[in-house]
Chains A and B, each alone.
Chain A
Amino acid sequence: MTTILIQGGHLVDPSTGMDERRDLYLRDGRVAALELPGKLNALAKKEKTTIVNATGMVVAPGLVDIHVHLREPGQAYKETIASGTHAAAAGGFTSVCAMPNTSPVNDSPEITRWMQAADRKAVARVFPIAAATLGSRGEAVADCKSLQAAGAVAVSDDGKPILEGSIMLEALVQAGRVGLPVIQHAEDTRVTQGASMNAGALAFRLGLRGMSVDAESGIVERDIELLSRLRKSDPASRAHLHVAHLSTAKALEAVRRAKRSGLHVTCEVAPHHFALTQAAIGDYNTDAKMNPPLRNEEDRAALIGGIMDGTVDAIATDHAPHALHEKEQEFERAPNGIIGLETALGLSLLVLHRQHRMPLTRVLALLSSQPAQLLHLKHRGSLAVGSFADVVLFRPNDDWPFHACESKSKSRNTPFDGWKLPGRIQMTICEGRIVHDARFSAK
């Protein structure tokens, strides 16, 4: 029986609305009790509990990231499930949902189970997202039922879109039947061939092919149309469309309208899309190359607006590690993506809380309770009694410099190297196990 008492902290739990000083008691991987300061001391003494002093810290549910690339199986030189979850823990995340664009593609119950096996040595809980179509080839919808039974929490062909309308519809139907969301990487790849950044004046100036806003919004609008048609033909359908890494004002508006009309459409935004614009590309910095690309200031402002007004359901990192030699290439040849697990909380606090005055509890909701609900991760993203003992402790006003070279990820591809971010993470506890402790973390 392992027990931990987190003492003297300010407990912020968006799932219950708690925002007060409380002591938190963890037992056997679950939240056992939360009481006024000092009230649990006697119990702790009796049970010879490990005591964590959280004075001056925020105590919050462990963060939940519904969009990461852990690169296993097949690309362990970029990241492993072990290294990726260490990075997650260092960033305060206790649950991560791993995209299936591995090698081979995770389109089977076997790989789905393999990713969750103890041998992977994960320090945060890994929830696989399985391929929506076999091999993510966009031709035949995968067997959602057996994938769900193996532990998949959603289906997606992330990295590419489910382009064919009939296949997307079929995926929504099949996944809906077992209650799994379909996560769409919304990019009309028929018009983004050879593109490596956002379309427009800067792309012209840099001589790079651009991805238009319509290449994203067109697919989002098409998918919403499919969902709407599906609901008309089958009002009982549980089909759920989730838009991954939404990056444009136009696609956001489409989601906003769909939500208003009562459709089950949700979306996520990545920290880099609300923290940066395409200007970060500078002199062809490949660490500012991702897909969807960084957009212009109007899009960035619209995303922040969507986060503030609740249109955006979750913040998800799209953590996408790549080896140094892959990023040290010509801009057009370098792969897309950046690592993001260790900067997500800091960037969210910086941009949303500090610059846009979003209450801390709402920022944390976007990073924990809401994404957990979205993918039905039961007893995650909450500190209610009985929940998993997933906890993050951080100092909200302690600004710290992020150094890529100290990242726990195997890769270093980030445009945020050297940024000063608020919210230094002191400790991360996953299912009652201390998986990150700043006091012992090697510098």
Chain B
Amino acid sequence: MAPFAIAVGWILNGSMPIKRKMSAKKAARITRSAKIAGNGAGNGHSSSSRPLLTLEVSPSISPRNKIAIPQFHGPVPPGFLHPGSAISVSHFTLEDVGRILAEASELEAMPAARRALRYTKRRVALLFYESSTRTRTSFELAAKSLGADTALVSALSSSIEKGESLKDTGITLRSLGAECIILRHPNSGAPYLLARSTGLPILNAGDGSHEHPSQALLDLRTILAHLPPSARTAGKRNHSIGDRALQGVTVTIVGDILHSRVARSNALLLPRLGARVIFCGPEVLLPECAAAIGPGVEIERDFERALKQSNVVMMLRIQKERLAGLEIDLEDYIEQYQLHMQRLAAHAPAAIVLHPGPVIRGLEITGEIADGPNSVVAEQVYHGSIIRMALLARALDAHPKRNEQSSKNR
């Protein structure tokens, strides 16, 4: 196993005036603590795989906001899940969804300078085991605009083995003062492991083919913004969103459903608000059992027939990296499932077109669609940063109930 290095750096928020330089002694102390946390947490891995931790602290620091010495917290009780976590949309009640949307609107309306005082110096770690410029930047900017410090840990390499366990990395980040971890991971369910290991609120920024809750919420906000004004009540002052907020709305999700966490989170969330969700794609990318994910979800393999019923079309990228062993003929796929102008104009001229990105122009959608009047991709990105601010606020505000036990434990 090759040695593996994580570079941890709390990137201090630029909006805070920082005057004094941190003493070399203090910096050394922090580095040492980080190393101790890294070594002490090892559980049976060989010493060669021990992580090399380097803590880079920004050049200057305010004495009032000095970095606390990392403190150790005890083990997490079994079954405990921090209530500020956002791992699966299935954990949200409709009230939670309403509250998140209301919080988003509130933060959106707030002057940036005031917003930046909201969570000044609170610590948020971004732990990314998969590359993702879009989601990472969105979360990072959301955290910074709330005044929080962020640290990016990128355990990314195509050639080196990951030596440290997710559990140990999480404990290390917690010891370094992280109050919330945003996790992107190639394995489905990894956020649960991190949540159980650290007891911290975990924001799932995409885990394998499982879920991507912030994406579903930002898609929801995008769709709500395009409802006729008479229907638009959700997420406003009264903090509530009903199970009929999306009544009459049909959302077709097209493409690589099998590997899409975006499809799953949307299919689990939108029908609860009254929407109809249609999965559309070829058998290899959309098994029959997919419709069983929940009520209000159906399968239509004929793209044009699905389009005819749709107000919202969500196009997905084919995840080549997850195809392993599956065969798909791209030419045939494009023929049947690409969204192009002709198809849209003929079958759903009034629909809005969403795409979680990254868009592969010329494959699932044409450039004309991406840049065309139906596309709301840029709006999605905007709503993404607002929703992620709201999720961070929820994570940093929530107080854990320590004695909460999973009801599943027998």
A residues with a Cβ closer than 8 A to B are 77, 193-194, 200-201, 204-208, 282-284, 323-325, 328-333, 418-419
B64 at the interface (CB under 8 A from A): no
Known A-B contacts A329-B193, A330-B185, A418-B410; A204 and B289 likewise in contact (beta carbons under 8 Å)? yes
B317 at the interface (CB under 8 A from A): no
Which secondary structure dominates chain A's binding surface?
A: loop
Q: Nearest chain A CB to B207's CB is how many angstroms away?
A: 7
Q: Nearest chain B CB to A278's CB is how many angstroms away?
A: 13
B44 to A331, Cβ gap below 8 A? no
22 CB contacts below 8 A, A to B, read: A193-B324, A194-B324, A201-B292, A201-B293, A204-B258, A204-B290, A204-B293, A206-B210, A207-B207, A207-B209, A208-B208, A284-B188, A323-B44, A325-B45, A328-B43, A328-B165, A330-B189, A331-B189, A331-B193, A332-B208, A333-B187, A419-B410
What residues of A have a CB within 8 angstroms of the CB of B410 in the complex?
418-419
What residues of B have a CB within 8 angstroms of the CB of A208 in the complex?
188-189, 208-209
Known A-B contacts A283-B189, A330-B190; A207 and B44 likewise in contact (beta carbons under 8 Å)? no
Interchain CA distance A328-B408 in the complex, whole Å? 19
Known: A193-B324, A328-B43. 15 other contacts (CB 8 A): A200-B289, A201-B290, A201-B292, A204-B289, A206-B188, A206-B189, A207-B207, A207-B261, A208-B208, A284-B188, A284-B189, A323-B44, A324-B43, A325-B165, A330-B187
**Interface residues of B, CB < 8 Å — how many?**
33
B23 at the interface (CB under 8 A from A): no
Q: Which of B211, B287, B409 contacts A207 (CB 8 A)?
A: B211
B4 at the interface (CB under 8 A from A): no
- Closest-by-CB residue of B relative to A326 is B44
B156 at the interface (CB under 8 A from A): no
Q: Which of B165, B210, B211 contacts A329 (CB 8 A)?
A: B165
What residues of B have a CB within 8 angstroms of the CB of A200 in the complex?
289
B324 to A331, Cβ gap below 8 A? no
What residues of A have a CB within 8 angstroms of the CB of B289 in the complex?
200-201, 204
Q: Nearest chain B CB to A109's CB is how many angstroms away?
A: 33
B119 at the interface (CB under 8 A from A): no
Q: Nearest chain B CB to A365's CB is how many angstroms away?
A: 29
Interchain CA distance A206-B188 in the complex, whole Å? 7
B325 at the interface (CB under 8 A from A): yes
User: Interface 1/0s, chain B 384-410, versus A by CB < 8 A?
Assistant: 000000000000000000000000111
Q: Which of A193, A331, A418 contacts B187 (CB 8 A)?
A: A331
B44 to A77, Cβ gap below 8 A? yes
Interchain CA distance A381-B62 in the complex, whole Å? 76
A328 to B193, Cβ gap below 8 A? yes
Q: Within B155-201, which residues are at the interface with A (CB < 8 Å)?
A: 165-167, 185, 187-190, 192-193, 197
| Closest 3 A/B residue pairs (Cβ) | A284-B189, A207-B209, A207-B210
What residues of B have a CB within 8 angstroms of the CB of A419 in the complex?
410
B44 to A205, Cβ gap below 8 A? no
Q: Within B265-309, which residues are at the interface with A (CB < 8 Å)?
A: 287, 289-290, 292-293
Q: Nearest chain B CB to A334's CB is how many angstroms away?
A: 9
What residues of A have a CB within 8 angstroms of the CB of B324 in the complex?
193-194
A332 to B44, Cβ gap below 8 A? no
Interchain CA distance A207-B265 in the complex, whole Å? 11
What residues of A have a CB within 8 angstroms of the CB of B264 in the complex?
205, 207
Interchain CA distance A332-B292 in the complex, whole Å? 22
Interchain CA distance A184-B276 in the complex, whole Å? 47
Q: Which of A193, A207, A324 contacts B188 (CB 8 A)?
A: A207
A193 to B210, Cβ gap below 8 A? no
- Closest-by-CB residue of B relative to A77 is B44
What residues of B have a CB within 8 angstroms of the CB of A205 in the complex?
264, 292-293
Q: Nearest chain B CB to A289's CB is how many angstroms away?
A: 11
Interchain CA distance A434-B325 in the complex, whole Å? 54
Q: Nearest chain B CB to A311's CB is how many angstroms away?
A: 28
